[in-house]
Amino acid sequence: MEQKEEELLALYKSAETRFPNYFQLKYEALVWLSSLWNYDPVKIDALITEATEASRAQNGQADYADLYWWHYVVHAKNDLFTTSKVSWPRLRQGIEDRIRQFPGSSNANNYAMLACLAGDKPIAKRMFGLIERHFDPEVWNNQTLYQCWQWAVEDRGVPLGRVLTP
């Protein structure tokens, strides 16, 4: 197992050096290695941090947000904020960086959901402004959309996840 991990890490680092902005490479390495690591949140965070640093000049912290989103929310179906070592300030910056690059409603839907999970009302409200009723059914079900919309836009109810303290 350890030899396979070392081989995968060496292969990934070699490819990352040549293609630092290739997101799919980072994501595939994360999928394979996290499985080998039994989904150890410390090792996963270290890999995501390193992968983000490699493309920071072009993408800022966007890969940090995307890697955490894809790994924990879309595929692992885990609660990002209780099962990982994610940094909300860094993730929030990644959201800002990605939205600057790709301001469409697809990213805004994903990030509105993350903001609701994190309890960050200003970001959630801003993302709903970008969405403009173009709700992505792959991101939302009726209950989560309604709960998040009420909390972020109508100022009623509670967020989907934790509540940030000032």
Contact 119, 91 (CB under 8 A): no
94, 6, 92, 96: which is closest to 55 by C-alpha? 94
Q: How far apart are CA 125 and CA 142, in angstroms?
A: 17
How buried is residue 139: exposed, middle or buried, by Cβ count under 10 Å (0-12/13-18/19+)?
Answer: buried
Low-confidence ranges of the chain (pLDDT < 70): 1, 73-78, 162-166
Domain ranges for the chain: 1-102, 103-166
Q: For 34-74, how does the pLDDT look when each residue is reduced to its tens digit (9 = 90+)?
A: 889 998 999 999 999 999 999 999 999 999 999 998 877 66
pLDDT for the residue numbered 3: 77
SS3 59: helix
Q: What pLDDT does residue 117 have?
A: 86
